[in-house]
């Protein structure tokens, strides 16, 4: 299995959140942590981002049913 790494601009497009919102949620512990690649360079594991998106969908559906 190949693990794909995503840079921030691609993560922003997938989750439809701004850079500042992503980093705010990182500080709050409500967004997947990136992995360091060296220096200031970081990337997110693609599967972590897709799991986060799915969790948001499920949470939204649970709230709609309540």
The partner residues of 5 in beta bridges, in order of sequence, read 45
Answer yes or no: is pLDDT of 66 > 70: no
What six digits make up the tokens of 42? 């970081």
Task: Identify the domain containing residue 13 by its residue range.
Answer: 5-65
Widest Cα–Cα separation across the chain: 46
Residue-wise pLDDT for 22-48, tens only, equals 999 999 999 999 999 999 999 999 999
Number of domains in the chain: 1
**Residue-level pLDDT at 61:** 86
Give the 3-state secondary structure of residue 14. Answer: helix
Kindly indicate the confidence band of residue 62, based on its pLDDT and cuts at 50, 70 and 90: confident
What six digits make up the tokens of 26? 């990182």
**Pick from 54, 60, 61: nearest CA to 15:** 54
């Amino acid at each position: 299995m190949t693990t794909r790494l995503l840079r921030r601009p691609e993560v922003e497009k997938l989750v439809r959140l701004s850079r500042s919102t992503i980093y705010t949620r990182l500080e709050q512990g409500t967004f997947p942590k990136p992995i360091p690649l060296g220096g200031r360079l970081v990337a997110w594991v693609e599967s972590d981002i897709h799991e986060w998106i799915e969790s948001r969908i499920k949470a939204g559906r649970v709230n709609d049913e309540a």
